Amino acid sequence: MNLTKKDIVAINEKFASGHFENESSLNFALKHSKHSIAWTKQLAYLIRAVLIDHVFVDANKRTSYTLLLTFVELNDWNIDEKQAVEIIKSLVLKKEKSITNIQRRVENAITK
């Protein structure tokens, strides 16, 4: 299940204005995520764009966290909310840019 740009903006608007700071990064992530077979890789592209590239003016961490929970749920998997918070915190602190590492962190945290 893919989320659209409009969906991601709506998530951000729960916490902030939904105004872009780096819209091109989101466009890049959406374009590349369409070509990814694994939904976890699609999610990794989106998390990297929002969290590391600061797609929005404000609330990128909260948007990334909600994006993570939403994407996992839409794909019929589960993730502990505390573990999701820890993933987001860790990615921010490490300034993680590797799609593979982000994907691996998500895959290690989800359960059926």
**For 70-102, how does the pLDDT look when each residue is reduced to its tens digit (9 = 90+)?**
999 999 999 999 999 999 999 999 999 999 999
Number of domains the chain contains: 1
Q: Domain range spanning residue 79?
A: 5-109
CATH of the domain at 105: 1.20.120.1870
When the pLDDT of each residue in the chain is averaged and rounded to a whole number, the result is 95
**What's the pTM value of the predicted model, to 2 decimals?**
0.95
- CA 57 to chain centroid, in Å, comes to 16
CA angle 75, 77, 82 (to 5 degrees): 125
